Structures are given as C-alpha cells and as structure tokens.
C-alpha cells in the first residue's frame, strides 16, 4: 500500500510564503500587469498577490502584456502545461512535487511524491486518493 504523509500548510505558512514571493518579484524587477490564478488551488494565492501588487485578478489571459500565472502546486505538471503558450508568462506556485514536468519560475518548497499537502483553505480532514485506496 502506498502511504502518503500529510503536511498541514497553515495560514502562517501562506503569509510567510507570500512575503518570499513578493520579495522575489521585486528583487527580479518583474513587471506584472495582471494575475491569472488557476482555479481552484491558485485562487487564494492569486487574490492575495492581486491585492498586494495592486493588479487585477483575471479569468481570461487576453488584453494584458505581463501576466503572472499562479497555482498552489505543480504536482504532475499537467495543469500548468495545459495552458496555451505558458512559457510566455511568469509562473509561481507555492509548491512543486519532485516529479513534476513543469517547474515554475519561482516556487517556495519542493515535496516528495509521498507527501499530501492539506492547504489551510481546505478541510483539515482532507482525504487523499492514490492507486484506488483512500487514506486519512
């Protein structure tokens, strides 16, 4: 049986990581006109960054030059790789998994494949599903 280890990502973790992200954006002089947050995992991060950077949170990637695409996790990389012309945008995730096929321009922490991240905006009793087995 494939056992997953849960990591509980707190609001304090999020606040700290948002500060790291803002520092990275400023230190690297990224110009950002808008933020596209991948539903649903990227919406909390996208909203926070939108307020801090004072740029719109958009749901269509047209009409803006410098778009930042954000998500909570690049697990397999499938979601981020599915965005047309993804390489034209700056990308940020809170986390990546070690076997992801998409490495964003910036991420806060890498996890092994055996970790399940329970984000602060999710129910604490979040269940994980792998290989047809349900784990607590």
Q: What tens digit of pLDDT does each residue of 49-88 get?
A: 999 999 999 998 888 999 999 999 999 999 999 999 999 9
Fold of 5-21+30-135: Rossmann fold (3.40.50)
Residue 65: partners with Cβ closer than 8 Å, 6 or more residues away: 31, 33
Report the alpha-carbon distance of residue 74 to residue 46 in Å, rounded.
15
- State the pTM of this model: 0.88
- pLDDT mean over 114-120: 92
Residue 17: partners with Cβ closer than 8 Å, 6 or more residues away: 94, 108, 109
Q: Which two tokens stand for residue 35?
A: 């933020």
Distances (CA, A) of 68 to 14, 32, 125, 131: 18, 6, 31, 34
What confidence score (pLDDT) does residue 1 get? 52
Percent of all residues in the chain with a pLDDT value above 90, rounded to a whole number:
80
pLDDT tens digit sequence for 121-135: 998 776 654 433 333
**Domains of the chain, residue spans:** 5-21+30-135
Tell me which residue of 119, 87, 122 sits closest to 104, measured CA to CA.
87
Mean confidence (pLDDT) of the chain:
90
What confidence score (pLDDT) does residue 100 get? 97
Distances (CA, A) of 85 to 34, 46, 82, 89: 16, 19, 9, 8
């Amino acid at each position: 049986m494939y056992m997953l280890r849960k990591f509980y990502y707190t609001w304090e973790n999020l606040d700290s990581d948002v500060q790291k992200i803002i520092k990275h954006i400023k230190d690297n002089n990224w110009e950002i006109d808008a933020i596209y947050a991948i539903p649903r995992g990227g919406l909390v991060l996208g909203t926070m960054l939108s307020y801090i950077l004072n740029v719109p949170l958009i749901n269509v990637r047209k009409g803006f030059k410098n778009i930042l695409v954000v998500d909570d996790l690049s697990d397999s990389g499938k979601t981020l790789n599915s965005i047309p012309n993804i390489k034209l945008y700056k990308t940020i995730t809170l986390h990546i998994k070690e076997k992801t096929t998409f490495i964003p321009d910036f991420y806060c922490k890498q996890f092994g494949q055996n970790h399940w991240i329970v984000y602060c905006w999710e129910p604490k009793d979040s269940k994980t599903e792998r290989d047809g087995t349900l784990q607590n």
